[in-house]
Each structure stands twice: as structure tokens, then as C-alpha cells.
Amino acid sequence: MTRPWFAWALCAALAACTQSTSLPKFVALDPIFDSVFVRTQKPLPSVIYFDGDKLQTPPASAVTWQSSDPTILDVNNPPGQMTGLKRGTAFAIATVENTQGSEIVAVPDTVDITLLVDTLYLLPGDTMTIPTIILHRDPPLPTVSYDPSPDPTVYTVDANGRVTATSTPGGPIAYTVHANDVSATGKVYVLDPTNPASRKAFFSVVGPSVVGAAVSHLDASPQVISYTSTSGNPAFRISAAASSSEQVVQVTVPQAVGTTPPAFAIDSITPADSSTCTPPRAWAIWSTPTSTAYSGNPDPGQQISITRLVSDGGSGLVAGGRFAYRARRGEVYLSPLSILKITGVFVARLTTASSCP
């Protein structure tokens, strides 16, 4: 078995490792996010096939490949390779015995800007540096700059890309990042904390790649809960669900919610330790109906912070902040290509519970 964690996750999902021909077939690709520069090639992803009875790595002759957009991405020509044709995003789709699986492939230019959070949801008075990935195939490093705000009454931006939300709610107001002759545009919303409809989140999921970044951008509905853990200690949990793709991000912190720096560092976690009712440390997940990734590989940038905590105009509070962490997909946990980078912002009403919800 070349994917021991995959087999473990499958058995756990079934509650026992019993064979059954009634189980659904599936094809899984590793990685599920990838990228290749325009006019370059790289190997196709590896393929795992479950035939309803057992996992197997099918021979290349048993896999049929196609691209969801052949004008952006060419697959299996030459055999075993994919080729970037023009800037964009496409799916590389593998078919084994009439069962399909796919990966998302980003095709960047030789100089390319990836906006990690191309929609900034901020509360009045909040600040945030625009998170980007600047890709360049050849030296020297590109020159990065930011356009002035089209409407300084809503937000301003400095030469380092630091956005400051004013006291006037509004949006969407564009922001633009330049790298040499390439540019990318996102948008800024400054939300009114007294408006119950102003509860928003946005997050991106970046797949592993040597040469680029494949990004899934998602608007989501957020929730921030402050509660008492089963050990009697304060804790809070932030979650954001994207209905468009059923993706969910969640961060659990075993401390009281607050705005005092420094930000909480997100630590690595294993599935066995990932308790929300008795959290051993700050940890996070990314999940879909078929996959879960657990926070791992901690670094100084892996953290969550609540940067604003303001009145909702009544007796409640609205929290605003951001998070960034890396996570390993459970079904291919041991693979270096399982690591995803999640980055997001949120504005949500703070709810409280006397016990673990």
C-alpha cells in the first residue's frame, strides 16, 4: 500500500475494514491543486482508484486523461505530462473504468500575481496588508506597487500594500497590485457592525506546487463562538462555510477571545487530538464532504488574530480578523503534496455558550 494514511482514513470512515462490493467507486488524484507555467510542462498527478473493494494504483494504460479547457491546459501530450498553454485555471480529469477524479491546475504567466484574499472584509478602523504571491520564472525580482485607493473615504492603501479601513462603511472598492507589467485587482468592503447583514468571510485554499499556486477563492458565512471547554477553561472557535463548494475552514483556540496582541499561533494537530470541547492547543482544519486537512508545519505566519471587537449597536459584539495556516489532507497525510495553505478574513457576530457547542 503506497498510501497508508489513505487506507486508514477509508477504514475509519467505514467504522471497520470490512470489504463490501456495495461501496461507491472513486478516483483520487494527488495533489488536488497544482500549477504549471505557460509554455512549460510537469508530470501529471498520481492516481488512486477504489473499485468498491480495494484501493489500487492503476497502470498508466488504464487511465484516460482530459482537460476541462484544452486552450489553457494540455494533458497527456506527451504521455505523462501536462502543458500550460495560456493563463487561467482548468481541471485535469482522470477516468478509470468510467469513474472520474480531478485536480485543479492553475496556469500562471512567467510573472504572475496571485491574490490570496481578493475580497477584503474589514470593520471600520481595521488594517490589513494585502496578501499576495508574486510568481516569477526568471530573475530579477519584479517591482511590486499598489494603486491609490479609488475612494479614500472608504479605505486607503500605502506603498507596502497596507490597507486601512476608514470609519465610513462602503464597497466594493477596487484595489490593484502591479508586478512589472502584470496587474491583479481585488475589492475592499468596509462593513457596518450595526447591520446584521454585514457578517462576511472570505478564504482561499492554495495547493502545493514547485512553480506556482493553484488557488480556490471562496465567499463564506462565518461564525465566532466563545464558550467554556469541558475542562472549564475559556475557548473560542471560528468557522466559515462556503455553500458554493461545501468547503469549511475552522480554527479552535483554547483561550478567551480578545484583541490583545500577539496573535494566537496555530499549532499542528493530529486527527486523534483534534478536540473542540477540550482543545489541547490552537489548531485548525479545512474540510469538504470527502476530505479533511489538519493544521501542521507551524511557522511564524501560521496564526489567527481578532483585530477588531466592536459593539453591534445593541448588547452584542462583532469580531473582525484574519487567519492563515497550513494543513495536511488526511487521506494522503504522509505525502509532501498533501499540504494546503489557507488564508482568510472574517467579520462575524460573537456568540457565547456556557458549554462546548
pLDDT tens figures, 124-178: 999 999 999 887 777 778 899 999 999 999 999 999 999 999 999 999 999 999 9
Considering only the top CATH level, what class is 110-190? mainly beta
Q: Tell me the per-residue pLDDT of 84-121, one tens digit each, with 9 for 90 and over.
A: 999 888 999 999 999 999 998 988 887 888 899 999 99
Q: Tell me the per-residue pLDDT of 167-212, one tens digit each, with 9 for 90 and over.
A: 999 999 999 999 988 899 999 999 999 999 999 999 999 876 544 5
CA distance 221 to 241: 5
Architecture of the 4-107 domain:
Sandwich (2.60)
* Closest to 326 measured CA to CA, from 349, 306, 353, 303: 303
H runs (alpha helix) in the chain:
4-14
One-letter amino acid for residue 284 of the chain: A
Q: In this structure, are residues 33 and 335 in contact, taking their beta carbons and an 8 Å threshold?
A: no
Domains 4-107 and 110-190 share a fold: yes
Give counts: helices (H), strands (E), the chain: 1, 29
In the block, cell 491546475 appears at: 105
pLDDT at 13 over 50: no
Q: Which three cell numbers stand for residue 18?
A: 470490512
pLDDT at 49 over 80: yes
* Sequence ranges of the domains in the chain: 4-107, 110-190, 198-357
